[in-house]
């Protein structure tokens, strides 16, 4: 894997109710690792980037443990679905739908995200 | 709540009163026999929700929601056109007119009436038993009320030290209350265990922090002016202060409805039924579950007999001659589900059979008590297990037969001369594996061979085994594996969904081919679908650990935050600190051998004070500082590194601590300098990434004050040198270490540990401590001794040189990190607001320090089985 600094100055943006919200430079996101963003209304989003460069954003709060730590979990794929495993008690959340793969009655919010 | 429109007066109607566990099973049994298609089925359910898993009730307090506990699938109710009236109990029965009246006023005519009304908790008639703060423990509503009331209280008492009482007391403790158990009998769980078992149980329960009062009765509940509980008066004249009381003094059958309509009930309650579960008074009325007095004169308070009765009644109503089920009695085996206490009894636990013999193993210090009751001809009749109920599933299944190995070997603990463990493969096909659902070994085997089930969840679904109390799941797993192996199905021993190789095989590949990135390994050796992908949370840290253990040799960076490695590490390694429940971190500097100067203590004290951290002496002879926010970590570590401290790797699967006793220098018994040796060892192996954490200790003489025999590698001084012990473990499954070699010189000792650790790192599974590894690998300790002492594989030189390379390349991760601005930029709560702390991380004061502010964290804990690994 190459982790060469990005040559472009693309920014990561999240779709909120009133338009696209700029979070940070794309280069801040390591493939396979997340970062957390503070949203204007106080919510927190966890942003991830996979090896192919695809971006994902879900709510940062672990609904089981309550702490805002999903951005610090390990990512991976399960049956073709990208997920993050919470660092607290390891429940996995689908990065596209927010559904918990270990307990489908639980899901976290997802956000639309792009690099532009 | 769906009415079947086709239902006409002509359709025969079955009315079920009571939608509890047994009622639900009865409905399933009817449906399975096609009865729902030909009959109108009406269910009157008193509780505000349809049937749920009462057996698992207590798991509500560990995070299960009422929905999780539900046993009723609305689709089932609808597809079978069952009319379910929730919250509408039956109030009277007119047997002459064959009509049931519900509380809502609805009247239902029946052809067949089935009573499954369960039990009610018995509350002894003591003064003020209904005061505010008195509860029973039977329904979800009871638990909701207890939880609400406990919020503002500090102490709780449970009346009754039986199975349910202990569960309730554990729940109160889990709610943060100081908890008491008051039991009239001279021991806990008097029905299930005998005196010896009671003593071992008492010790374990008290060790959990519960106060037990046996041999005393409750005389009166004491209340304040407002009528709320403040305490209880006991029969020995003493008074116990408590804010709430939970009665768990047994249950009584709910037979009032039956009495009122003239059905025969037993002297001590229970609706009298025959072997078909038909009431003796009325051929149109059946009674099943805890409200029924079975033909053997007993009322069963367990779910498994109730299920059998449900099947019997359904088969009888369906007039299914092919089946002709009868219920003539059942087994009373039980296993306590309370977290942290293993108690089980099965079969003729009290040895009431004529001429039977006991085999007893007891170690009250360790809280162990095991008794088997053996018949004259060697038949296993029953038994009691306290402190270690591992063998429950197998033993229960053997009950009634002559086990193929000696009874002693079934109760002796591993390592105490117990020969080969008895596996479930030795069981006959008729042996009942799951007694809750009456599933035999043959049925389980059939699920694998005839129904193509290949996993435990599939077998559970197919056979229902393991779906109720869960105590048989372990044996179930062993059987499924054995059956798959026997039928030639290849069992996937791969590390995870991404790699078909074991950890050991991956280690060999990495080392032989000098592969030094995860992606290279995945793309070349991953499973087909996984190549080129993102991997998963299992293989990423496991491979990162292999690469880190071999870093200098394979040409990878030994720094775990470098390049790709940063993305592979578990969250703790990624921030070089341990994540705590509210999102803050703990900081543990290395204190080799537990030796620290006054200046060192002062620095730690000052840092903790300046950053407002909670401090505690750990079980590893060092100091942990808790409550650091992620953005404070670099600031804290800058000060620690300046003062000469380095990472303690409390977060890593790597060497933790080498504990020491004070040894020869001060102690009048010491024969070697244990502190110096502990420091040497800790500095030598610090930072070594391994399959699981590594712990060690050095004692200065055979008195063993450093507890070296409970460590992965432990060293005990002798007058001639050092004895090396390996494979010890504290924690959940303690194991005493085995002596590997004696009277070693310093140099010999270190050489042997180098080899031992590298051999373990090479061959162990992911998250396998040395203790489990030593028990698993073929040949065990003897094999390890051959390899690392006798060099039987000729790899010792390589093992040593790998360790030498590790030692030479060690660098403190925190020192490296605080000097690297790019890495430091990651230590923020928010990428877009680096100066803003995470508002979810909050603290409140406790005992002059801080603790996490948990009310801020909404849902509460719901641990995933077996996943809470560091
Ligand atoms: C802090 C400490 C408790 C304390 O306040 O004293 C502690 C805290 C934790 N221990 Fe421990 N253990 C601590 C000493 C021990 C000891 C005592 C010892 O080392 O002598 C043991 C028994 C000895 C042993 O390991 O054999 C111990 C056996 C465990 C186990 C069970 C391991 C096993 O093989 O059964 C776990 C769970 C695991 O690793 O899977 C565990 C896991 C944990 C975790 C990671 C629990 C978790 O998943 O969050 C805790 C991390 C706390 C943190 O964030 O720092 N801890 N833990 C101790 C740190 C010692 C240190 O200085 O590094
Ligand atoms: C905390 C706890 C832990 C337990 N643990 C275990 C265990 O580990 N192993 C084990 O085998 N058993 C255990 N049990 C016992 C097990 O739950 C019962 O044996 C089982 O629930 C009995 O099922 P049942 O259907 O006969 O009664 P219940 O499940 O009590 O159902 C009876 C239902 O009938 C309703 N009802 C009563 N009268 C009327 C009426 N007139 N009209 C309409 N509805 C009515 C009641 O409200 C109730 O919902 C435990 C019980 C508790 C409380
Ligand atoms: S182990 Fe021996 S030398 Fe060490 S403190 Fe205990 S008695 Fe003294
Ligand atoms: S024995 Fe209870 S679920 Fe199998």
Q: pLDDT tens for residues B537-588? A: 889 999 999 999 998 888 888 788 888 888 888 888 889 999 998 999 999 9
Rg of chain B on CA atoms, in Å: 31
Task: Please list every residue in chain B whose beta carbon sits closer than 8 Å to the beta carbon of residue A30.
Answer: 566-567
Backbone angles phi, psi at B708, to 5 degrees: -65, -25
8 A C-beta contact, residue B372 and residue B407: yes
Task: Compute the nearest-CA separation of A55 from chain B (Å).
Answer: 13
A102 found inside a domain: yes
Residue A18 forms part of a structural domain? no
A20 within domain boundaries = no
pLDDT digit string, tens, across residues B92-116: 999 999 999 999 999 999 999 999 9
> Is B572 near chain A, with CB under 8 Å?
yes
Identify which of B837, B607, B842, B869 has the alpha carbon closest to the alpha carbon of residue B731.
B869
- Give B619's pLDDT tier (boundaries 50, 70, 90): very high
Looking at the predicted structure, is the pLDDT value of residue A42 above 70?
A: yes
CATH number at residue A64: 2.102.10.10
**Lowest mean per-residue pLDDT among B320-329, B448-457, B754-763:** B320-329
Say which residue the tokens 């009930």 belong to: B265
- List, for residues B432-456, the tens digit of each pLDDT value: 888 778 888 889 988 888 888 877 8
Contact (Cβ atoms closer than 8 angstroms) between residue B713 and residue B760 = no
B537 closest CB neighbour out of A1, A63, A76: A76
For residue B859, what pLDDT is reported? Answer: 43
ipTM: 0.70
- Written as six digits, the tokens of B150 are 């406990």
Structural domain of A55: 30-115
B399-408 LR contacts (CB < 8 Å, sep 24+):
B399/B331, B399/B333, B399/B346, B399/B347, B400/B347, B401/B428, B401/B431, B402/B377, B402/B378, B403/B378, B407/B359, B407/B372, B407/B374, B407/B378, B407/B380, B408/B359, B408/B361
| Candidates B67, B582, B858; nearest CB to A105 | B67
Residue A75 in domain: yes
d(CA B254, CA B22): 14
- Relative to the CA of B251, which ligand 2 atom is closest? 53
A67 inside domain: yes
Kindly tell me if the per-residue pLDDT of B416 is higher than 70: no
Does the distance separating the beta carbons of A78 and B497 come in below 8 Å? yes
B857 with A30: Cβ contact below 8 A: no
What average pLDDT does range B276-283 have in this prediction? 95
The per-residue pLDDT for B5 is 42
pLDDT at B200 > cutoff 80: yes
CA B499 to chain centre: 28
CA distances from B285 to B126, B228, B504 (A): 36, 43, 64
Backbone angles phi, psi at B391, to 5 degrees: -85, 0
Q: What percentage of residues in chain B have a pLDDT greater than 70?
A: 94
> Which of chain B's residues have a Cβ under 8 Å away from the Cβ of A33?
566-567, 574
Q: Which of residues 39-68 of B touch A (CB under 8 A)?
A: 63, 65, 67-68
Residue A35 and residue A29 in contact, taking contact as beta carbons nearer than 8 Å? yes
pLDDT in tens, B212-252: 999 999 999 999 999 999 999 999 999 999 999 999 998 99
What are the backbone dihedrals phi and psi of residue B800, each rounded to the nearest 5 degrees, phi first? -65, -40
Please report, for residues B17, B484, B502, the alpha-carbon distance to residue B493 in angstroms, rounded to integers and kept in the order given. 50, 13, 6
Q: By C-alpha distance, which of B313, B350, B361 is closest to B26?
A: B313
Give the residue among B438, B754, B392, B688 at the shortest CA–CA distance from B550. Answer: B688
Contact indicator for B203, B187 with CB cutoff of 8 Å: no
Per-residue DSSP letter, B594? G
Can you give the pLDDT at residue B865?
38
Determine contact: B567 vs chain A, CB below 8 A. yes
pLDDT surpasses 70 at B6: no
Greater model confidence, B428 or B507: B507
Q: Tell me how many domains chain A contains.
A: 1
Q: What global pTM score does this model have?
A: 0.56
Report the Cα B498 to chain-centroid distance in Å. 28
For the cut 50, the answer to whether the pLDDT of residue B860 exceeds it is no
Most confident of B170-184, B557-571, B737-751, B818-832: B737-751
Query: Between residues B769 and B330, which one has the greater pLDDT?
Result: B769
What is the tens place of the pLDDT at every residue in B289-313?
Answer: 999 999 989 899 888 889 999 999 9
Rounded to whole angstroms, the Cα distance separating B275 from B263 reads: 17
Residue B470 CA: nearest ligand 4 atom is: 3
CB count, 10 Å around CB of B416?
9
Q: Which residue has the higher pLDDT, A69 or A3?
A: A69
Give the best-scoring range by mean pLDDT among A2-6, A73-77, B751-755: B751-755
Q: Average pLDDT, stretch B329-342?
A: 68
- How many Cα atoms sit within 13 Å of B340 on the Cβ side? 16
- Average pLDDT rounded to a whole number, residues B462-485: 81
First to last CA, chain B: 47
Task: Check residue B855 and give its pLDDT.
Answer: 62
Report the C-alpha gap between B610 and B835 in whole angstroms: 18
Q: Which of B187-191, B347-351, B845-849, B852-856 has the highest mean pLDDT?
A: B845-849
Reply yes or no on whether the pLDDT at B867 is more than 50. no
B523 vs A: CB within 8 A: no
> Considering the domain boundaries, does residue A6 fall inside one?
no
Mean pLDDT for chain B overall: 88
pLDDT in tens, B82-93: 999 999 999 999
Tokens of B432: 């009942």
Between residues 3 and 22 of chain A, which touch chain B (CB distance below 8 Å)? 3, 22
The per-residue pLDDT for B130 is 93
Among residues B483, B491, B474, the alpha carbon closest in space to that of B450 is found at B483
Separation of CA B245 and ligand 2 centre (Å)? 21
3-state secondary structure of B491: coil
Ligand 3 and B666: CB distance under 6 A: no
Token pair for residue B462? 């197919």
Which whole-number Å values give the CA distances from B278 to B119, B206, B458, in the listed order? 19, 46, 35
pLDDT value for B180: 95
Q: How far apart are CA A59 and CA A98, in angstroms?
A: 8
Nearest in space to B625 (alpha carbons), one of B869, B854, B849? B849
Give every CB contact of residue B642 below 8 A, 6+ residues apart in sequence. none
- % of chain B surpassing 90 pLDDT: 58
Contact B174, B62 (CB under 8 A): yes
Identify the three-state secondary structure at position B90.
Answer: strand
First-to-final CA distance of chain A = 23
CA–CA gap between residue B710 and residue B698 (Å, rounded): 11
Which residues of chain A have a CB within 8 Å of the CB of B63? 64
**Is residue A99 in a domain?**
yes
Inter-residue contact A85 to B537 (CB < 8 Å): yes
User: Which residue lies with its CA nearest to atom 31 of ligand 2?
Assistant: B20
Residue B258 has pLDDT above 80, yes or no: yes
The whole-number pLDDT of residue B866 equals 35
Beta strands in B280-319 (DSSP E): 285-287, 292-293
Strands B229-234 and B239-241: antiparallel
CA dist B440 and A38 (Å) reads: 56
HSE (side-chain half, CA atoms, 13 Å) at A17: 4
Quick check: CB of B669 below 6 Å from ligand 3? yes
Chain B interface, best mutation among A34, A90, A92, A103, by max B CB count within 10 A: A90
B437-443 — which CB contacts under 8 Å span 24+ positions? B437/B304, B437/B307, B437/B463, B437/B464, B437/B465, B437/B466, B437/B467, B437/B468, B438/B304, B438/B307, B438/B308, B439/B463, B439/B464, B439/B465, B441/B397, B441/B479
- In a domain? residue A36: yes
* A 85-114: CB under 8 A from B: 85, 87-92, 102-103, 105
Name the DSSP letter for residue B836. Answer: P
């Amino acid at each position: 894997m190459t982790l060469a600094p990005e040559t472009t100055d693309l920014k990561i943006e999240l779709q909120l109710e009133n338009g696209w919200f700029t979070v940070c430079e794309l280069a801040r996101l390591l493939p396979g690792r997340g970062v957390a963003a503070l949203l204007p209304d106080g919510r927190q989003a966890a942003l991830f980037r996979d090896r192919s460069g695809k971006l994902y954003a879900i709510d940062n709060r672990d609904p089981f443990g309550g702490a805002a730590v999903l951005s610090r979990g390990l990512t991976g794929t399960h049956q073709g679905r990208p997920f993050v495993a919470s660092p607290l008690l390891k429940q996995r959340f689908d990065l596209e739908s927010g559904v918990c793969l270990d307990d489908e009655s639980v899901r976290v919010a997802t956000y639309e995200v792009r690099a532009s | 709540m769906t009415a079947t429109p086709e239902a006409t007066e002509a359709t025969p109607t079955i009315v079920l009163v009571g939608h509890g566990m047994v009622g639900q099973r009865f409905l399933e049994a009817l449906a399975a026999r096609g009865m729902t298609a030909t009959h109108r089925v009406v269910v009157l359910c008193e509780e505000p929700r349809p049937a749920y898993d009462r057996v698992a009730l207590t798991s509500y307090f560990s995070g299960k929601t009422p929905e999780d506990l539900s046993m009723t699938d609305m689709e089932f109710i609808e597809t079978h056109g069952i009319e379910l009236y929730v919250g509408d109990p039956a109030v009277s029965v007119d047997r002459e007119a064959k009509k049931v009246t519900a509380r809502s006023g609805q009247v239902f005519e029946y052809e067949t009436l089935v009573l499954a009304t369960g039990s009610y908790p018995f509350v002894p008639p003591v003064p003020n038993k209904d005061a505010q703060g008195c509860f029973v423990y039977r329904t979800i509503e009871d638990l909701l009320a207890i939880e609400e009331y406990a919020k503002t209280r500090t102490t709780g008492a449970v009346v009754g030290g039986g199975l349910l009482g202990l569960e309730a007391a554990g729940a109160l403790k889990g709610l943060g209350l100081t908890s008491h158990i008051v039991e009239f009998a001279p021991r806990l769980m008097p029905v299930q265990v005998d005196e010896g078992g009671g003593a071992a149980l008492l010790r374990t329960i008290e060790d959990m922090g519960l106060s037990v009062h046996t041999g005393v009765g409750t005389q009166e509940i004491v209340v304040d002016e407002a009528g709320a509980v403040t305490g209880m008066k006991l029969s020995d004249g003493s008074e116990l202060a408590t804010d709430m009381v939970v009665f768990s003094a047994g249950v009584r059958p709910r037979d009032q409805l039956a009495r009122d309509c003239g059905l025969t009930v037993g002297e001590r309650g229970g609706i009298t039924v025959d072997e078909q579960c038909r009431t003796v008074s009325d051929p149109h009325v059946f009674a099943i579950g805890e409200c029924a007095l079975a033909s053997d004169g007993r009322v069963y308070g367990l779910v498994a007999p109730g299920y059998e009765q449900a099947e019997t009644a359904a088969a009888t109503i369906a007039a299914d001659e092919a089946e002709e089920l009868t219920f003539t009695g059942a087994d009373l085996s039980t296993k306590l589900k309370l977290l942290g206490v293993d108690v089980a009894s099965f079969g003729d636990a009290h040895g009431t059979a004529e001429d039977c013999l006991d085999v007893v193993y007891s170690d009250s210090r360790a809280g162990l008590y095991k008794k088997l009751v053996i018949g004259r001809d060697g038949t296993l009749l029953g038994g009691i297990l306290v402190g270690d109920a591992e063998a429950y599933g197998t033993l229960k299944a053997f009950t009634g037969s002559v086990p193929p190995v000696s009874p002693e070997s079934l109760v002796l603990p591993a390592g105490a001369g117990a020969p080969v463990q008895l596996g479930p493969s030795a069981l006959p096909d008729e042996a009942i594996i799951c007694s809750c659902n009456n599933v035999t070994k043959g049925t389980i085997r059939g699920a694998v061979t005839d129904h193509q089930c290949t996993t435990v969840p599939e077998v559970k679904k197919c056979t229902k085994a393991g779906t109720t109390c869960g105590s048989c799941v372990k044996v179930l797993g062993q059987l499924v594996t054995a059956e798959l192996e026997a039928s030639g199905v290849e069992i996937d021993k791969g590390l995870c969904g991404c790699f078909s190789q074991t950890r050991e095989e991956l280690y060999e590949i990495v080392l032989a081919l000098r592969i030094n990135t995860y992606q290279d390994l995945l793309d070349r050796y991953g499973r087909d679908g996984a190549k080129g992908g993102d991997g998963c949370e299992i293989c990423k840290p496991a491979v990162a650990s292999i690469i880190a253990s071999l870093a200098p040799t394979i040409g990878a960076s030994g720094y775990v935050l470098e390049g790709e490695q940063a993305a592979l590490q578990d969250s703790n390694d990624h921030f070089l600190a341990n994540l705590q429940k509210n999102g803050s971190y703990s900081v543990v500097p290395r204190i080799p051998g537990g030796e620290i100067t006054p200046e060192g203590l002062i620095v730690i004290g000052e840092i903790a004070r300046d950053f407002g951290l909670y401090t505690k002496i750990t079980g590893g002879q060092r100091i942990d500082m808790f409550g650091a926010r992620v953005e404070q970590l670099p600031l804290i570590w800058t000060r620690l590194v300046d003062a000469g401290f380095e990472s303690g790797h409390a977060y890593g699967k790597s060497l933790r601590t080498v504990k020491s006793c004070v040894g020869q220098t001060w102690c009048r018994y010491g024969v070697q300098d244990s502190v110096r040796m502990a420091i040497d060892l800790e500095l030598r192996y610090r930072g070594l990434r391994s399959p699981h954490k590594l712990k060690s200790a050095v004692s200065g003489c055979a008195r063993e004050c450093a507890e070296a025999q409970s460590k992965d590698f432990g060293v005990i001084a002798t007058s001639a040198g050092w004895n090396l012990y390996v494979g010890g473990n504290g924690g959940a499954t303690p194991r005493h270490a085995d002596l590997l070699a004696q009277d070693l010189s310093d140099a010999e000792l270190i050489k042997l540990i180098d080899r031992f650790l590298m051999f373990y790192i090479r061959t162990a599974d992911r998250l396998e401590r040395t203790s489990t590894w030593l028990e698993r690998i073929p040949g065990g300790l003897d094999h390890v001794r051959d390899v690392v002492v006798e060099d039987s594989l000729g790899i010792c030189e390589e093992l040593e040189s790998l360790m030498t390379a590790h030692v030479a390349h060690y660098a403190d991760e925190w020192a490296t990190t605080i000097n690297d601005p790019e890495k430091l930029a990651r230590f923020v709560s928010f990428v877009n607001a680096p100066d803003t702390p995470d508002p979810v991380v909050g603290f409140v004061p406790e005992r002059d320090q801080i603790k996490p502010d948990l009310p801020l964290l909404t849902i509460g804990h719901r641990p995933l089985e077996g996943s809470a690994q560091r």
